[in-house]
Amino acid sequence: MSEKYVDVKDIKCFVKQVNDWNSALILLHKDARFDMDELDKRYGPMGWKDEYTEVAGNLYCTISVWDQDKKQWISKSDVGVESYIEKEKGQASDAFKRAGTKWNIGRFLYTAPDIWIKLDDDEVRINKGTKYSKTSFYVNQIVVKDEKIVRIMIDDDKGNTRFRWGYEGAMPQTTLPIEPTLEELKEVALEKVKNAQQPDSWKAIVTKGMAKYDLQTVKRLLASDRLKEE
């Protein structure tokens, strides 16, 4: 399968944390517009629909696609949560994006490498002992092959490239952080568990047990097939 350049205008960067060494952990997420555009491209504006239902206080989104051969709607659903990335959009947006992922829209984002960007001292602010990034980051380019990211470039809000992965002449190792702490790795693992295409029962067990996991256990979890793209 040939390489494909992703339209990145609706792929966003979120600074999850800044560690003690002023390295920022960047997570990637898709805007709901990414799913809408992709559904329009694949099935046409009239070839899909979304519906919402509430079950036990949880909001579910169902995305249905018209199957011309079977002459019926084919549906896939998922539940929304209040995301720390886009709290203001709430469960409806999150449910829609998760249902879109069931249709293999943006699932390649789960194959992204760990993105750590070294910040200069003047890019960091401290509030009540917690470090935050003053700098915003944007996706410059994502290249996908076989539904996996093979190259990615991240720029800052001044247009400077701060992270390159998969390219010849990739960013030097000095841009990468010191080995992340156990707590930092746990946060990364919890985010990947939440988004993994695995049964909710498994997610609940792992999430509950995470507090007791040691460093090697967390590393094995991050490297396991359960958190890799299917």
Residue 48's identity, in one-letter code, is W
State how far the Cα of 37 lies from the Cα of 16, in Å rounded to an integer. 26
Asked whether the predicted pLDDT for residue 172 surpasses 70, the reply is: no
> What are the structural domain ranges in the chain?
4-178, 179-230
| 62-73 confidence digits (pLDDT tens) | 999 999 999 999
Q: Is the pTM of this model over 0.75?
A: no
| 145-164 confidence digits (pLDDT tens) | 999 999 999 999 999 999 99
Q: Is the dihedral of CA 200, 197, 6, 41 positive or negative?
A: negative
DSSP character at residue 134? S
What residues have CB less than 8 Å from 210, skipping those under 6 apart? 186, 189, 190, 193, 218
